[in-house]
């Protein structure tokens, strides 16, 4: 986007051979740059920065006579970067690493805070040593140099550890160890070497319950268990064996392979949301379970205790004492926000209407304790920062402060994010994975699905879900930040923003109706707001994440699919128009798009609804598509990609404002141009090793490049050819080109 192709400089590369040689040299830099280990490789990063600067100086020289040359083409200063749909912040962060001042904006306060944590805060305190007393009193033979945000990262680790230890001091009694007794070992010979030892509990596994529908057992809370399997690892197999006795039942744990694998695998589940009564064998219908849940009669029973042994997990039968301790927890606060949108798909059917309903009392106590300690830690950081010599400037971080107050705010941001990460492991939507012997996260996919059995993690177990583990990951990442240019993260509506003015723009916008992140972000927002609002009252002013302006086509917000599509089209058109008007004139705007959905239409052929609506917005905004390229952007093993038709590639649209004098074309002229140009473009894509599943979508780009070079394309009746009709013609031409290749 910012480095010229060698063909742009025939004076330096006069032949195609010379141009190709230079092109391959640039490609080799990219090949090194995209490697994960190059994230902190200053040699590779500097090579890329040098190429950007060289191209920028050429650009400035070529535009020396531009009317705004002084403002737009300063050879000593690179233009800044802006992503108006910043989300998780990948694009602004990489732009910053490449030497550009980075601006990130988003409607979502959670996204804004994440971007502040990555691109805004680290450079502000780059090069500072830590302020914690341990670091200040530690004597070294050679004074340590704190590069980038390493000092800040060390403080996050230190004060985070204090926060974790203080929380354990206050509520650790709710998370006891389990003693292995001789009585336990009598039924389990594998436990004999552990008798007398107190093991750390990793998790407590629970099963939701309802009253038996059989009148003979109407007072028994029977379990709804999706699987009795605990571990399927070779040599470590374990499963739950329920025992019916004395008019009730209890859970035992068996090690080794089950004699009835199918029964163990299925638990008490029949199919979908239907179960079988453990006591009587009577079926429990989904409707009955929903009715019980909505009446407030769905409960939970401890099924298994998972402890940490010398060589892995130790699965134990529950004890009355352990279950009683769990029920002692009394949270002083809980998030009463109602579940909305994507969060309401299933849970309210079972009586779970608020976020508080998806946490156990013990989980609520832990998360509220951590949230409160964020603010206590902040006060301690501020005091230590003053002692360490930081200015006694009362200006907070949100107002641009850099003194002790702002530094305390900065550390608190990361502690708050660590609490949020802990929440991802601490809900009743967390499943236990028998194949991996560990808990999953709440968001193993982008939804809040109903769970029948769940894992309640020990937040003090030094394992996944322990806030100390989250803080370790955060501090390690933070230590790598802060060595680039400055950054700014802002809460802003993409349809009205003026941040893009004279900036390089690259963005990954919302994907039509794919995922409503605002709905799902409420899960994290309710906890962040609890600790962050005192420091960022404006950012966390609303009770929930703003949703009305989120540019996704969600029918439930607009009462119909047609109205939702109109909202998306109009909003995205306005957002793209802001980019077309404001982006730096020397550079194209690059847009990532990765939505996949085909719909059949007998009259117009197959067209992708996501592409159709999004491209219409891009074109209506005044952009022409000058090129496309698919890019691998996701890990193949990510949770959403396992067993789902997840996107393999993103397609990058390269856009420039369409010329005001662009001509009009007839449908015949458009088709003729397609047939002449698309086969060549197709061959080019195939040489780029495009995955076959992505080829049809990738080929849309070159086709739309033809379509958008015209002001409009008219059919024989003088009617404007729609984007949908153009896509159908592009797909038809693509099919013909592929058929010709196959002979």
Can you give the length of the chain in residues?
743
pLDDT in tens, 17-29: 999 999 999 999 9
Please compute the mean of the pLDDT values over residues 202-224 and round it to a whole number. Answer: 97
Confidence band, pLDDT 50/70/90 cuts, at residue 105:
very high
Q: What pLDDT is attached to residue 614?
A: 83
Confidence band, pLDDT 50/70/90 cuts, at residue 684:
confident
- For the question of whether the overall pTM of this predicted structure is more than 0.85, the answer is yes
Confidence band, pLDDT 50/70/90 cuts, at residue 474:
very high
Measured CA to CA in angstroms, residue 10 lies from 22, 275, 332 at distances of 12, 73, 71
pLDDT in tens, 650-669: 788 899 999 888 999 999 99
Out of 293-307, 505-519, 624-638, pick the least confident. 624-638
Copy the structure tokens of residue 21. Answer: 């040689």
Q: What pLDDT is attached to residue 648?
A: 45
| DSSP class of 2 | -
With contact defined as beta carbons under 8 Å apart, do 81 and 504 qualify?
yes
Neighbouring CB atoms inside 10 A of 368's CB total 21
- Mean of the per-residue pLDDT values of the chain: 91
Question: What is the rounded CA–CA span in Å between residue 627 and residue 629?
Answer: 7
CB-neighbour burial class of residue 37 (10 A; exposed 0-12, middle 13-18, buried 19+): exposed
Of residues 69 and 685, more confidently modeled? 69
Measuring CA to CA, which residue among 416, 421, 406, 369 is closest to residue 159? 416
pLDDT in tens, 580-616: 999 999 999 999 987 554 433 433 444 446 777 788 8
Q: DSSP string covering 537-572, please?
A: TTTT-SSS---TT--S--HHHHTSHHHHHHHHHHHH
What residues does 665 pair with on adjacent strands?
Answer: 713
Is the pLDDT confidence value at 211 over 50?
Answer: yes
Q: How do the domains of the chain map onto residue ranges?
A: 1-72, 622-638+656-743
Is the pLDDT confidence value at 511 over 90?
Answer: no
Q: What pLDDT is attached to residue 635?
A: 54
Q: DSSP string covering 217-280, please?
A: GTT-EEEE-S--EEE-STT--EEEEEEEETTEEEEEEEES--SSHHHHHHTTEEETTEEE-TTT
pLDDT in tens, 552-574: 878 888 888 889 888 988 999 99
pLDDT in tens, 437-467: 999 999 877 788 899 999 999 999 998 889 9
pLDDT in tens, 186-202: 989 999 999 999 999 99
CB-neighbour burial class of residue 344 (10 A; exposed 0-12, middle 13-18, buried 19+): middle
Confidence band, pLDDT 50/70/90 cuts, at residue 182:
very high
pLDDT in tens, 54-74: 999 999 999 999 999 999 999
Q: What pLDDT is attached to residue 81?
A: 98
Is the pLDDT confidence value at 363 over 70?
Answer: yes
Q: What pLDDT is attached to residue 647?
A: 45
Please compute the mean of the pLDDT values over residues 540-556 and round it to a whole number. Answer: 88
Is the pLDDT confidence value at 139 over 70?
Answer: no
Confidence band, pLDDT 50/70/90 cuts, at residue 634:
low
Q: What pLDDT is attached to residue 646?
A: 43
Please compute the mean of the pLDDT values over residues 380-386 and round it to a whole number. Answer: 98
pLDDT in tens, 240-278: 999 999 999 999 999 999 999 999 999 999 988 899 999
Copy the structure tokens of residue 236. Answer: 């470590």
Neighbouring CB atoms inside 10 A of 261's CB total 13
């Amino acid at each position: 986007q910012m480095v010229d192709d060698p063909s742009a400089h025939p004076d330096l590369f006069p032949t195609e051979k010379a141009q190709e040689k230079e092109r391959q040299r640039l490609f080799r830099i990219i090949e090194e740059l995209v490697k994960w280990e190059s994230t902190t490789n200053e040699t590779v990063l500097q090579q890329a920065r040098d190429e950007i600067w060289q191209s920028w100086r050429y650009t400035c020289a070529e535009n020396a006579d531009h009317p705004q040359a002084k403002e737009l083409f300063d050879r000593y200063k690179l233009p800044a970067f802006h992503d108006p749909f910043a989300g998780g912040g990948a694009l602004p962060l990489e732009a910053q690493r490449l030497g550009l001042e980075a601006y990130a904006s988003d409607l979502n306060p959670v996204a804004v805070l994440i971007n502040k944590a990555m691109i805004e805060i680290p450079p502000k305190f780059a090069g500072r040593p830590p302020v914690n007393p341990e670091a200040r009193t530690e004597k070294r033979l050679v004074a340590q140099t704190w590069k980038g945000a390493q000092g800040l990262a060390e403080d996050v680790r230190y004060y985070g550890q204090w926060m974790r230890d203080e929380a354990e001091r206050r509520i650790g009694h709710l998370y006891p160890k389990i003693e292995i007794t001789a009585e336990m070992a009598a039924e389990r010979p594998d436990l004999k070497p552990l008798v007398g030892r107190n093991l750390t509990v990793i998790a407590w596994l629970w099963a939701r319950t309802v009253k038996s529908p059989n009148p003979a057992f109407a007072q028994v809370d029977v379990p709804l268990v999706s699987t009795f399997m605990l571990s399927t690892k070779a040599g470590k197999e374990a499963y739950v064996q329920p025992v019916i006795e004395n008019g009730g039942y209890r859970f035992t744990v068996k090690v080794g392979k089950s004699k009835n694998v199918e029964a163990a695998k299925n638990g008490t589940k029949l199919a979908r949301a239907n179960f079988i009564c453990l006591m009587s064998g009577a079926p429990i219908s989904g409707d009955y379970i929903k009715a019980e849940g909505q009446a407030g009669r769905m409960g939970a029973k401890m099924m298994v205790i998972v402890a940490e042994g010398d060589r892995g997990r130790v699965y134990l039968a529950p004890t009355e004492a352990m279950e009683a301790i769990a029920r002692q927890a009394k949270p002083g606060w809980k998030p009463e926000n109602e579940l909305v949108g994507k969060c309401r798909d299933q849970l309210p059917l079972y009586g779970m209407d608020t976020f508080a309903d998806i946490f156990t009392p013990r989980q609520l106590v832990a998360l509220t304790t951590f949230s409160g300690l964020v603010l206590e830690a902040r006060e301690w950081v501020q005091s230590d920062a003053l002692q360490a010599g930081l200015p006694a400037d009362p200006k907070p971080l949100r107002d641009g402060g850099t003194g002790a107050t702002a530094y305390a705010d900065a550390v608190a941001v990361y502690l708050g994010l660590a609490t949020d990460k802990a929440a991802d492991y601490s809900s009743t939507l967390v499943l236990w994975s028998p194949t991996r012997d560990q808990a999953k996260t709440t968001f193993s996919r982008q939804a809040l699905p109903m769970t029948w059995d769940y894992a309640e993690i020990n937040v003090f177990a030094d394992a996944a879900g322990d806030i100390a583990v989250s803080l370790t990951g955060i501090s390690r990442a933070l230590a790598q930040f802060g060595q680039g240019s400055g950054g700014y993260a802002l809460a802003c509506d993409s349809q009205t923003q003026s941040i893009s003015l004279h900036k390089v723009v690259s963005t990954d916008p919302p994907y039509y109706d794919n995922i409503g992140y605002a709905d799902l972000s409420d899960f994290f927002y309710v906890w962040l707001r609890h600790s962050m609002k005192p420091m960022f009252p404006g950012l966390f002013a609303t009770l929930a994440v703003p949703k009305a302006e989120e540019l996704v086509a969600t029918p439930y917000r607009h009462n119909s699919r047609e109205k939702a599509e109109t909202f998306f089209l109009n909003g995205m058109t306005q957002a793209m128009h802001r980019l077309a008007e404001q982006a730096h004139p020397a550079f194209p705007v690059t847009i990532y798009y990765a939505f996949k959905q085909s719909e059949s239409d007998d009259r117009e052929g197959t067209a992708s609804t996501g592409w159709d609506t999004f491209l219409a917005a891009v074109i209506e905004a005044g952009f022409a598509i000058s090129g496309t390229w698919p890019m691998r952007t996701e890990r193949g093993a990510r949770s959403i990609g396992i067993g789902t038709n997840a996107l393999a590639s993103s397609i990058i649209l390269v856009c420039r404002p369409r010329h005001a004098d662009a001509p009009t074309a007839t449908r015949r002229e458009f088709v003729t141009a397609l047939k002449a140009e698309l086969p060549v473009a197709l061959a080019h894509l195939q040489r780029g090793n495009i995955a076959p599943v992505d080829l049809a979508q990738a080929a849309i780009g070159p086709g739309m490049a033809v379509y958008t070079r015209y002001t409009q394309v008219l059919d024989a009746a003088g009617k404007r050819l729609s984007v949908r009709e153009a896509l159908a013609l592009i797909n038809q031409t693509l099919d013909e080109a592929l058929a010709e290749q196959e002979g």
